[in-house]
Amino acid sequence: MDQEDEHERQQPGQGHDYEPLQNLALEEIGAQEEYVAMDVVDDSDNESDGADDGDDDDESSDDYDVLEDLVPQDSWSSDEIDCDDDSNFGHESVSLQRLHRMLNRCRERVKHTYSFQPLRLIPCQYKAHHDAGEFPIARSGHRIIASESHLYSLGGYNPNRTPNVTRFDACMLFQELWAFNFATGRWKLLLNAENSEMPRELASNALVIYNNVLISHGGTGYPFGETCSNDCYVYTTGENPKVMLLKVTGDLPTAQYGPGIVIHNDYLYTIGGTTGFDYSCDVYRLNLQTKVWENVYICRPEMRDDPEGRYRHEVVYDGHHIYVLGGGTSHTVYDLQRIPAFNLETNRWDHFDTLPDRTVAINQDLGYPKARKCLSCVQHTTSNGDIEAFITGGLQGDFNTYFDDIWKLNLRTKQWYKIHTAVLPRPLYFHSAAHAGNGCMYIFGGIEYNEVQRDMRRRNHLFKMWMTIPKLSDICWDAITYYNRNLHKFDRATLLNAGIPQRYVNRLPPLPERMRKHASDEPSSSTFLNGLTKRMRAHLE
């Protein structure tokens, strides 16, 4: 059976106005989106993981914060000090935990000068802004998606963190929906099993954002493969978040986990997945207006040139084809040289031979990314209209080969490019990535493999990478929020009068209720702008 814990055992030593759920308007806004945050390049990653039988736990005993004298202070990442209210460290020494937070906040006051650097992997140092328990703990098998303002993380698994242990029907997975605001750098728990009827199959499902709501499909409970889902859930994320099971009819797909989904012309397409025993690459689609499923294509690889069954692949979409990248079974993976693509006009499979990156050495698979599953992928559209897919990480079917590389595929030219300027700090799989629509990719969580100590740990690190040079206004907003994480505490009129465009002000979370009554006490726009200018000038000096 293809499960995360099986992978580990075999080791040696992922204030909007929303329409009512019942009247889900179906207007495509893109199948893949991502997120934005802080901008301090930190290429040093000096953790030293201790072996723990593969059941990793980055919340308890990271060595990021141990050897202070070996790591230059200006290279520290506050994300690398993991203080969690579930951790042994937190229980043993509350005072020391507070000291860590104080030191983190002191370091936050001494920021590096903002620098826009495309195609560089940047850690988002969010933990210094939170107390313990205010952000999602380490996990894998989750899914993330993003709007212009927020990153959303749904579900996931960590064997060392048993959620809802007080419930008689405790679910071993994280029945949680978190939101990360790019402007403030803060997480917020929107939904969990205590305040809503969350699904229980929340590992290796699929997630899209559509008409300002999130839609999840498929997934598995724990133990993996024993209970699978073919349901669709809809999540609203405004001031009163809700979750609802979408009532559907028709020819439903098999209950599976690890599928890939996209939205095309008011249809949700799902491709592939596994029951834990059988694998498919069948294609089904759900009419989001009528809520009716239909069987589009059943693969018969033994009879014709159809792709083999797989799970934990990634899908990208150019309006004409749905491309299937990677994926595999419990012991095999599929290559990224000849890519299957489902033709949305003929409802048949096509195959495309891709072109290698000639700048990569000949002994590195001739310029192609190696075959893999459990990778992450996002897509974005360039200024000339080309669609590019970025893949990161993953693992091979031998359970001994893990990846930390980042590659780009141009869907028009079918040309691969290896990103030489960015690499994951360590090999990573069962993570998730998303795109905020402005050209910035975010990567969150997953299982990190330590090649030196040959062990694995789940992480809750968040990274960003600009895949392209965005609009100048987006760079300016990124710089403003880098220096000012408290903009959400200002009256909106003050921000608008200071010259911040409405579309960026709308990305801030609502003004806290306790502060709305004191909005008249906020400084004037000129005072605010002068203070902002002084802070930025001080950092430059």
pLDDT digits (tens, 9 = 90+) for 372-405: 999 999 999 999 999 999 999 999 988 889 999 9
pLDDT at 511: 81
CA distances, 283 to each of 251, 288, 303, 307, 312 (Å): 12, 16, 17, 11, 15
Provide the pLDDT for residue 132. Answer: 81
**Tokens representing 199?**
């699904």
- Residue 451: the pLDDT is 86
Question: What average pLDDT does range 303-320 have in this prediction?
Answer: 96
Q: How far apart are CA 114 and CA 38, in angstroms?
A: 9
Q: What is the pLDDT of residue 410?
A: 98
140-156 average pLDDT score: 98
Q: Which residue has the tokens 């979409």?
A: 317
- Using CA atoms, how far residue 325 sits from 186, 212, 354, 425, 504, in Å, is 32, 27, 12, 23, 34
Q: Do residues 295 and 252 lie in contact, with contact meaning Cβ atoms separated by under 8 Å?
A: no
Q: What is the DSSP string of 12-75?
A: ---------GGG-------S--B--------------PPP-TT---TTT--STTT-GGGS-GGG
- Indicate the DSSP class of residue 335: -
The residue count of the chain comes to 541
Distances (CA, A) of 88 to 22, 65, 157: 45, 15, 19
Structural tokens at position 90: 């937190």
pLDDT at 226: 94
Given a cut of 90, whether residue 176 has pLDDT beyond it is yes
Average of per-residue pLDDT across 102-125 = 81
Q: Given this model, what pLDDT does residue 366 score?
A: 83
Amino acid 533: pLDDT = 62
Tens-digit pLDDT profile for residues 206-253: 999 999 999 999 999 999 999 999 999 999 998 899 999 999 999 999
In angstroms, rounded to a whole number, what is the distance separating the alpha carbons of residues 218 and 211? 20
Region 340-363 average pLDDT: 92
Least confident of 227-231, 292-296, 407-411, 454-458: 454-458
**Which pLDDT value is given to residue 91?**
47
CA 300 to CA 281: how far, in whole Å? Answer: 9
The per-residue pLDDT for 515 is 60
Chain position carrying tokens 């002000």: 505
pLDDT at site 429: 98
Write out the two tokens for 76.
């520290």
Lowest mean pLDDT among 261-265, 426-430, 487-491: 487-491
Query: What average pLDDT score do residues 257-278 get?
Result: 97
| Helix H or strand E encompassing 208 | strand 206-210
Confidence of residue 36 (pLDDT cuts 50, 70, 90): very low
- pLDDT band at residue 156, thresholds of 50, 70 and 90? very high
**Per-residue pLDDT tens for 322-343?**
999 999 999 999 999 999 999 9
Q: Locate the domains of the chain by residue range.
A: 120-475, 486-519
pLDDT at 105 over 70: no
CATH 2.120.10.80 fits 120-475, yes or no: yes
The pLDDT value recorded for residue 73 is: 33
Nearest CA to 466 among 458, 477, 476, 475? Answer: 475
Q: Is the pLDDT of residue 293 over 90?
A: yes
What local confidence, expressed as pLDDT, does residue 62 receive? 42
Mean of all residue pLDDT scores within the chain: 81
Query: Residue 283: pLDDT band by 50, 70, 90 thresholds?
Result: very high
522 — pLDDT class (breaks 50, 70, 90): low
Average pLDDT over residues 297-305: 95
Instruction: State the pLDDT at residue 131.
Output: 86
Token readout for 150 is 């927020």
Alpha carbons within 13 angstroms on the beta-carbon side of residue 412 total 8
d(CA 3, CA 234): 26
Taking the C-alpha atoms of residue 541 and residue 537, their distance in angstroms, rounded to an integer, is: 6
